[in-house]
């Protein structure tokens, strides 16, 4: 179960060094390409070499920024953030980036992930008499940087990173540098690319780099710090890569856009293989395979290709309604479903349908979708899920919810099938999922297995974690 304060969950981060370019506008376009990673708040901080300027607010990127706002934040360096949070923590004060003045000059920071020792670090700062204005992990990290040892920001960052435990993909802005930093376990993606006119971009996903015209890119290595400045792009391995990394499997299942590259592999190709393996493990007699758009489309294509059952669209999606999984509470999620999907009746009427979905988390989306299909005249709905049952919460940066909220923690597969109204339900096995990814180890599968790569410690409520290790 999550803490009462606000971990910085799955978000999108962006950092740019582009001399003589309109970096604020570039950041706007880059964040727009990362909008799927968070819809509650957005922010951009820009430096002209002397002064840092920040604008952030609650809302989508297009709601927070307009041409006039962007024209007021000029410079060669920028970082940006698009955010979602856990229940109850949607607040303007927790929007990012965080910007503070220090004895070494101003610094701004944007964070994707969750420090599991944030509560402990927070108490250490408070004992030193350092005031905190938010409930965010990100502010803790920013304040720690301001207090760290070293003659340069690079040195201070090398010192601070040794104290951070958990998932963090960061972009940091100073007067004349942008830093990109990834935690030693590599939980969430972070990439860096080269601009054709000089300069570099760091971003959560390669889609943002391509949007901005980057000609070449690579992933930031786990434990690596990359500095972007007027001199050059400098990479430094601040923390050794552990023998066992912990890349987030759910990035491949749901969160990343299909054009992303994670752990050197195409997310789209992995999702197609997930569907293929699902068809092998859980065959069914049916007339048509349909996806729950959008993240399940590649998997449904793979299921169709392997099974020989024709693929077609079953739902039309309203593109102006956000992703229901990352809405902050159940009532908004349920309302979003009704607004978000309509059935294409001609493709499913009087047919046996295989409905492929990426996951079932709380179970609030699946039942209404099946009801829509049956109301449209579908004979049978056979539900196929491209990952194992999600039985455990995530402490590393994905808002899975609490044990009580996870339907697979409370119910058996047969019980879930009856609850959602499906004619049959099958999940992909852990082995089948990892086979599709192409690795047997090096990934965090704690939400499926309860085996956490870094055991949650101080700051995590004990109820859920003690329950997970007791099962």
Residue ranges of the binding site = 248, 295, 357-358, 394, 444, 447
State phi, psi for 109 to the nearest 5 degrees.
-145, 140
11 catalytic? Reply is yes
DSSP classification of residue 325: G
Round to whole Å and give the CA distance between 234 and 407.
46
153-160 and 137-147 helices cross at what angle (nearest 10)? 120
CA dist., res. 303 & res. 280, Å (int): 8
Catalytic residue among 11, 147, 411, 417: 11
CB-based contacts of 352, cutoff 8 Å, min separation 6: 285, 286, 287, 288, 378, 379, 380, 382
Residue 301 Cα distances to 71, 348, 392, 415, angstroms: 44, 16, 29, 28
Spatial strand order of the sheet with 352-357 comes to 288-291, 352-357, 380-385, 424-427
Gap between the terminal Cα atoms of the chain = 15
Calpha distance 448→471 (Å, rounded):
12
How far is residue 458's CA from residue 7's CA, in Å, rounded to a whole number? Answer: 13
Pairing of strands 191-194, 200-203: antiparallel
Binding site per annotation, positions for [4Fe-4S] cluster: 248, 394, 444, 447
| Annotation: binding site for Mg(2+) | 295, 357-358
Decide if 417 contacts 424 (C-beta within 8 A).
yes
Q: Give dist(CA 15, CA 151) in Å, integer.
A: 23
Rounded CA separation 356/348 (Å):
14
3 state SS for 2-57? CCCCECCCCCEEEEEECCCCCHHHHHHHHHHCCHHHCCCEEEEEEECCCCEEEEEE
CB environment 255-281: b (16+ within 10 A), e (fewer): bbbbebbbbebbbbbbbbbbbbbbbee
CA 208 – CA 220 distance, rounded (Å)? 15
C-alpha–C-alpha distance, residues 184 and 169, integer Å? 10
Catalytic residues: 11
């Amino acid at each position: 179960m999550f803490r009462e304060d606000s971990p910085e969950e799955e978000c999108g981060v962006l950092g740019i060094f582009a001399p003589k370019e309109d970096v604020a506008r570039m950041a706007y376009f880059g964040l727009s390409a990362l909008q799927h990673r968070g819809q509650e708040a957005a922010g951009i901080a820009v430096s002209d070499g002397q002064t840092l300027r920040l604008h952030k607010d609650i809302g989508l990127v297009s709601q927070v920024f307009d041409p006039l706002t962007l024209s007021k934040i000029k410079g060669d360096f920028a970082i940006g953030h698009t955010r979602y949070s856990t229940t109850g923590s949607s607040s303007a004060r927790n929007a990012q980036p965080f910007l503070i003045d220090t004895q070494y000059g101003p610094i701004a920071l944007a964070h994707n992930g969750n420090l599991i020792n944030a509560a402990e670090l927070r108490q250490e700062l408070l004992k030193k008499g350092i005031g905190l204005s938010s409930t965010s992990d990100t502010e803790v990290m920013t304040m720690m940087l301001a207090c760290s040892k070293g003659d340069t920001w690079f040195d201070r960052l090398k010192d601070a990173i040794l104290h951070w435990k958990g998932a963090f993909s960061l972009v940091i802005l100073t007067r004349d540098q942008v830093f990109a930093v990834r935690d030693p376990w590599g939980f969430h993606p972070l990439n860096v690319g080269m601009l054709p006119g000089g300069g570099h971009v760091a971003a959560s996903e390669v889609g943002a780099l391509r949007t901005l015209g980057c000609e070449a890119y690579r992933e930031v290595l786990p434990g690596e710090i990359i500095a972007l400045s007027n001199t050059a792009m400098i990479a430094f391995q601040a923390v050794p890569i552990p023998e066992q990394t912990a890349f987030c499997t759910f990035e491949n299942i749901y969160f990343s856009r299909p054009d992303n590259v994670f752990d050197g592999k195409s997310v789209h190709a992995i999702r197609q293989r997930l569907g293929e393996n699902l068809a092998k493990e859980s065959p069914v007699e049916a007339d048509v395979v349909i996806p729950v758009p959008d993240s399940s489309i590649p998997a449904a294509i793979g299921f169709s290709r392997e099974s020989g059952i024709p693929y077609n669209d079953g739902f039309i999606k309203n593109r102006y309604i956000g992703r229901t999984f990352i809405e902050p509470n159940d009532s908004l999620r349920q309302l979003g479903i009704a607004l978000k999907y309509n059935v294409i009746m001609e493709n499913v009427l009087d047919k046996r349908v295989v409905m492929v979905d990426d996951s079932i988390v709380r179970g609030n989306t699946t039942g209404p979708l099946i009801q829509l299909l049956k109301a449209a005249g579908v004979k049978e709905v056979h539900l196929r899920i491209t990952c194992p049952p999600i039985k455990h919460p995530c402490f590393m940066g994905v808002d899975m919810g609490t044990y009580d909220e996870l339907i697979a923690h409370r119910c058996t597969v047969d019980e879930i099938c009856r609850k959602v109204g499906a004619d049959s339900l099958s999940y992909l096995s852990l082995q089948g999922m990892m086979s599709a990814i192409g690795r047997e180890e090096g990934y965090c599968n704690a939400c499926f297995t309860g085996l956490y790569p870094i055991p949650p410690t101080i700051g995590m409520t004990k109820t859920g974690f003690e329950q997970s290790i007791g099962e």
